[in-house]
Structure 1
């Protein structure tokens, strides 16, 4: 695997496919990293209509995960998962690059 590889777990792929189907959109999940959050950076998820020119694209079970070039440096090697717990259901990023995280799991620092 190259160092910039990203992985979309089968459970996350299934969830993206279900959401996209309900909204009549292609099964493409965009992961972006923005400044902010309680630890410095925060993850942002959304459905995309198509990959853009500088996007990194990975595919699991026919569902694509796209990440822009700037965000990719911060999430290289990550696994995007979908977890359901008593606290609710959410996409979760397992980021080996994060030096610190936060309790809510939606922000990190490097």
Structure 2
């Protein structure tokens, strides 16, 4: 299965967010059914990892992904963008055949 990667910008932003969270906290990214294009990404801060989670680490930042979501995100790059329309995490997913304007919904 292809690896999920974090960009340096994403790692920096995750570290900034986690600085105000309890020690050991991680950003969880999951794929849920629904959204305008069929699937959507969810972002949550969690205190503990599940045994089957995959941890993606870079520059001290950690993202955890469950095995089912990992299948939908194989080969993805997680980035953080700050542009005229706002700041957000952006996932470049090579498996997505379409996505919608919100940037958090996609189809396979």
Would you call these one fold, judging by a TM-score over 0.5?
yes
RMSD: 1.3
Q: TM-score, normalised by structure 1?
A: 0.91
Gaps spanning 5+ residues in structure 2: where? none
SS in 2 for 1:23: coil
Q: After TM superposition, give the deviation of residue 23 of structure 1 in Å.
A: 2.9
- Out of 76, 81, 84, the position equivalent to 2:82 is 84
User: Which residue of structure 2 lines up, in the alignment, with residue 108 of structure 1?
Assistant: 106
- Out of 2, 8, 16, the position equivalent to 1:18 is 16
Gaps spanning 5+ residues in structure 1: where? none
Instruction: Give a deviation string over 1:27-81, Cα, whole Å, max 9, x none.
Output: 5211100011100000011122232111111110011111001111100110010
SS in 1 for 2:64: strand
Q: TM-score, normalised by structure 2?
A: 0.93
Matched positions, count? 108
User: Which residue of structure 2 lines up, in the alignment, with residue 38 of structure 1?
Assistant: 36
